[in-house]
Structure 1
Amino acid sequence: MADNFNDFFDENTHWVEGNANPPGGSLEPPQPPKSRKEMRKRREKRKQRHTMVIIAVIVVIALMVCGGYFGVKKLKSIRDSQSQTTAVIADYPGPGDGDVQFTVEEGQGADVIAKNLFKQKIIKSAAAFTSVVMANDAKLYPGTFSLKKHMAASDVLAILSDSSNASGFLDVKSGERVADVLDAAARLSGIDRSEFDTIVNGGGSGILPAEAAGSFEGWFEPGSYNVQSMTSASDILKAMVDKRIAKLDELGVPSGSDRERVMIIASIAEAEVNKSDYYAKVTRVIENRLDQGMALGMDSTVAYGNNVKSAEVTTAMTQDASNPYNTYQIAGLPPTPISNPGDNAISAALNPEPGDWLYFCTVNLNTGETKFAATADEHNQNVAELRQWQAANGQ
């Protein structure tokens, strides 16, 4: 039996009204009814077409739903991106209001500093600060700074990139002498200078290594120290010495008396020239002179023994044999370093540049240009050049 009688009759019955002839004029015999097998095939094809149509509709609907979902997601992503872009450029116009004490710790990077500035409502967004730091390739100094809330990021950078605005942090520089460091340490920490002097004059027991022979000169590592957080002069001195020892170990400086020798030579190189390119040549001159038994004849050592600057050394000072640091009158190295040498000078003392130089002379005191010579005649020519420069520049 057919599943659908209407379909059966629609497809297989041919109606003839009365005796009317078809338009062709002749009456054709009716078509024989289709077999049940053919009818089943037709019904199956029809069902397949219906199924395909339904599947196609479902697919179209699914694509529309998916397209809508991903479209909304993309729009949300664009919106978030625009929001982030807005955050990146979000900045206060300044100048700000109120007073805020902000501390930058030693070793903190721009990202950490920016987050802390944002937390204290000093800047409007961390990204605004990091972007101006990167754009200016600025160096940020540790210390405690006086800022305001709601400042422009560029104004904050101008303050944090100037070490003179920092308080509470001691900034030890390459080439500084112990006396200068102690003056600053006492001022910044609020600890009386006499407490530092007592330890220094007492030989630094428990702080200095044995090879320092009781002298702190040269044994303060350049860098920044949060002296306001330290409670005693001993703590401050030990922090600087411990950091120096760690750096010497890192640089591979030999221990014992060899370490002190390296420090003395490095300190002279640090004091004699102001360009790192010259350090290894100066240390070679020192070694060459020592090898030949010549007096070093360094103004920097004479100046240290007289507690003056090198430019203030007089002829009388160079002739004073009572000064143990007078390397014009006393052969060999001075008894201690004469300043706190930096990494470059220490490395130069460890690895002097190959050469036969015995003399050097800075011929331009503004630029620091220095010339090296292997003979006295050549050196005298360099000295003459210096004298010409001094005459031309009123010095």
Structure 2
Amino acid sequence: MTEYGRGQGSEPWHPEDPLYGDGGWGGQQAPVGQQSPYGGQPQHYPEQPQQPQYGDWGTGEQAGYGQAQQQYGYDQQYPAQGHPQDQGHGHQQQYDNGGWATGTHQHVQYPADPADPYGQQVAYDAGHQPDYYGTPDAYPPPEPPGRRRAEPEPETDWDPGPDQGEHAFFAGDDEDDGDEPGNRRGRGDRRGRGGGKGNGNSKGKKGRNGVACLVVVLVLGGGLAGVSYFGYQFYQDRFAAAPDFTGDGNGQEVTVEIPGGADGYAIGRALKAAGVVKSVDAFVAAQGSNPQGKNIQDGVYTLQKEMSAASAVELMLSPESRDNLIIAEGRRNADIYRLIDKRLELKDGTTAEVAKKDWKNLGLPDWAMNHKNVKDPLEGFLYPSSYGVAKGQKPADVLKKMVARATETYTKLGVEKKAESLGLDNPWQLVTIASLVQAEGTSHSDFRKMAEVIYNRMKPDNPQTYGKLEFDSTYNYIKNQSKIDLTLQELRTYDNPYNTYFYKGLPPGPIDNPGEDAIKGALNPTDDGWYYFISLDGKTSEFTKTNAEHQKLVEEFNASRNN
């Protein structure tokens, strides 16, 4: 028999038979399921050199299906010619050494007919290739007897084994049981690779399915538990009331310092850290519910642990809870130093000494530095307010807080910007005027008129005082006293830069620490022509424009005192 390729039906089975993907009829075997022209996609054979068969057929390549086949000689190419295919057998055209070959195998390929589904298939020689398509085994082509497999019987119950997509976790080590209905030996024969646990019954399968169900239940149960937990937490965060204590506390006192500028959340965090409230949100809610909640100030508070948020807010709004150092408006620095010593439980004079030696490092602004004849450079900068001062703190730290508060207030109110528009040399003079307004005024309603009196008297050519302020408060400051009954002889003969009876214009610096209203009065004086003032009742002041008017009020005042 003439041989054109390997794997003919008459050959014994060979490792290169079609099941191994190579050794088909004259070319590369397509994968199983595609080898039959009736059972899958058309076969495709890559172009590759063919070895000569029984004589010199030339060195040309076999053309692809539906293409003209070319043989090469003398570097020339000839187009394929021939006749239409006859029953799938093509005639090969060859050219060898300049002439046409005369063998009996001159085959010519013609382009396939698009309507012919087999026009793309490989053509075989009818005289030498067995025609399998006329035999009972044509669909698919026969395999060697040793490789033929029994057709599987129809399955009656679907069970996806490990090779059917079932996850290995659920598959376990058991293989399919050989005695199951249908006797699916296609998988049962693989039992040797498993663990040899096949026992001829369905207990392994049932056990595996039971474990799988248990795992699914546990996973679903855990998921539901997680969803429930996080759902509960979401509800608690969004809708439920914040955790809170009940009552007014457990009787254990605790001191909490609230810094300046702290909002409700910052206060709540400080209270929670001290064990006063149970949660920050509870405090914020209670503060928002209290009409006066926003009036909580900075400072030191004495509270109790485990208080309800509402009771903590109420106590912080009460003066009873505040353990702060309160600096009143118009206080002089000498008095404030003594208060700090007492609060810090220090020896008298300790804070005053620190201020004297370290005043340049306590935060004064540049415009408050290096003025002549100033008694205390910090005067006017220990701002009146409430401060959290407790034992253990350093005097310098307390002074820094006060200076910072004063500087912040002066900047906020525009002291630096407005000094020049008021005819002053610098902001320092404006603070000095504010301290005089604070010292001489008896009420906040007096401050703007008192400021005008100062500005009018500062004018060197004014016809009333000729540039002298003549304030008793400046004399009392330098004497560190607060007397009312002072004689003109005493006032006009004491030579000191702070004595405005002796020197014209402003004193070298502030004489106390003015509050916000006094500062505002100095920034916005009236313009009514006031030069004089007197308080007949100690609560309000009477203002006049001339000295004659002023003297009448002085006589009235003296008469009321039986002088």
Same fold (TM over 0.5): yes
Match of 1:175 among 295, 315, 330: 330
Structural RMSD (CA):
3.9
1:255-292 residue CA offsets vs partner (Å, 9 max, x unmatched): 99522211211100011114333222111111111212
Matching residue of 1:307: 480
Quote the offset at 1:338 in angstroms: 0.5
Q: Distance in 1 between matches of 2:285 and 2:293?
A: 14
1:294-333 to structure 2, matched below 5 A, reads 294-310=467-483, 312-315=484-487, 317-333=490-506
| 214-223 or 332-341, which deviates more | 214-223
One-letter code aligned to 1:237: L
Matching residue of 1:143: 299
Matching residue of 1:352: 525
- 1:94 aligned onto 2:248: yes
Q: Is the 8 A contact 2:452 2:530 kept in 1?
A: yes
The change in CA–CA distance for 1:137 and 1:121 in structure 2 (over 3 A counts) is closer
Q: Distance in 1 between matches of 2:547 and 2:352?
A: 43
Q: Is the 8 A contact 2:435 2:513 kept in 1?
A: yes
- Please give the secondary structure, in 1, of the residue aligned with 2:300: strand
TM-score scaled to structure 1, two decimals? 0.63
Match of 2:434 among 266, 273, 291: 266
The change in CA–CA distance for 1:203 and 1:379 in structure 2 (over 3 A counts) is farther
| 264-273 or 121-130, which deviates more | 121-130
Quote the offset at 1:243 in angstroms: 4.0
Q: Distance in 1 between matches of 2:245 and 2:475?
A: 55
- Please give the secondary structure, in 2, of the residue aligned with 1:279: helix
Match of 1:369 among 529, 540, 543: 540
Match of 1:339 among 498, 512, 519: 512
Matching residue of 1:240: 402
Q: Distance in 1 between matches of 2:292 and 2:560?
A: 36
One-letter code aligned to 1:182: Y
The change in CA–CA distance for 1:111 and 1:381 in structure 2 (over 3 A counts) is farther
Q: Is the 8 A contact 1:302 1:327 kept in 2?
A: yes
- 1:275 aligned onto 2:443: yes
Q: Distance in 1 between matches of 2:550 and 2:515?
A: 28
Residue-pair matches, total: 308
Q: Distance in 1 between matches of 2:398 and 2:524?
A: 31
| 262-271 or 292-301, which deviates more | 292-301
- Please give the secondary structure, in 2, of the residue aligned with 1:205: helix
- Please give the secondary structure, in 2, of the residue aligned with 1:217: coil
- Please give the secondary structure, in 2, of the residue aligned with 1:97: coil
The change in CA–CA distance for 1:138 and 1:183 in structure 2 (over 3 A counts) is farther
Quote the offset at 1:181 in angstroms: 1.6
Q: Distance in 1 between matches of 2:451 and 2:499?
A: 18
The change in CA–CA distance for 1:148 and 1:335 in structure 2 (over 3 A counts) is same
The change in CA–CA distance for 1:148 and 1:244 in structure 2 (over 3 A counts) is closer
Matching residue of 1:218: 380
Matching residue of 1:25: none
One-letter code aligned to 1:98: Q
Match of 1:204 among 350, 355, 359: 359
Q: Distance in 1 between matches of 2:273 and 2:354?
A: 41
Match of 1:160 among 298, 310, 316: 316
One-letter code aligned to 1:376: N
1:279-333 residue CA offsets vs partner (Å, 9 max, x unmatched): 22111111111212243222222221221225x4433753551454332343322
1:60-81 residue CA offsets vs partner (Å, 9 max, x unmatched): xxxxxxxxxxxxxxxx9xx99x
Q: Distance in 1 between matches of 2:399 and 2:268?
A: 31
Matching residue of 2:142: none
Q: Is the 8 A contact 2:458 2:467 kept in 1?
A: yes
Quote the offset at 1:91 in angstroms: 7.2
> Structure 2: 5+ residue runs without aligned partners?
1-231
Q: Distance in 2 between matches of 1:238 and 1:112?
A: 22
Quote the offset at 1:177 in angstroms: 0.7
Q: Distance in 1 between matches of 2:469 and 2:481?
A: 19
TM-score scaled to structure 2, two decimals? 0.46
Q: Is the 8 A contact 2:380 2:514 kept in 1?
A: yes
Quote the offset at 1:130 in angstroms: 1.4
> Structure 1: 5+ residue runs without aligned partners?
1-75
1:154-190 residue CA offsets vs partner (Å, 9 max, x unmatched): 65445423557444x5443331111122122223345
The change in CA–CA distance for 1:206 and 1:115 in structure 2 (over 3 A counts) is closer
Q: From the CA coordinates, give the structure whose radius of gyration is larger.
A: 2
Quote the offset at 1:359 in angstroms: 0.4
Q: Distance in 2 between matches of 1:150 and 1:299?
A: 54
- Please give the secondary structure, in 1, of the residue aligned with 2:509: coil
Matching residue of 1:184: 339
- Please give the secondary structure, in 1, of the residue aligned with 2:549: helix
Q: Distance in 1 between matches of 2:370 and 2:425?
A: 6
The change in CA–CA distance for 1:118 and 1:389 in structure 2 (over 3 A counts) is farther
The change in CA–CA distance for 1:211 and 1:341 in structure 2 (over 3 A counts) is farther
The change in CA–CA distance for 1:258 and 1:163 in structure 2 (over 3 A counts) is farther
Matching residue of 1:284: 452
- Please give the secondary structure, in 1, of the residue aligned with 2:295: coil
Matching residue of 2:287: 130
Q: Distance in 2 between matches of 1:216 and 1:162?
A: 31
Q: Distance in 2 between matches of 1:137 and 1:363?
A: 40
Q: Distance in 2 between matches of 1:281 and 1:117?
A: 45
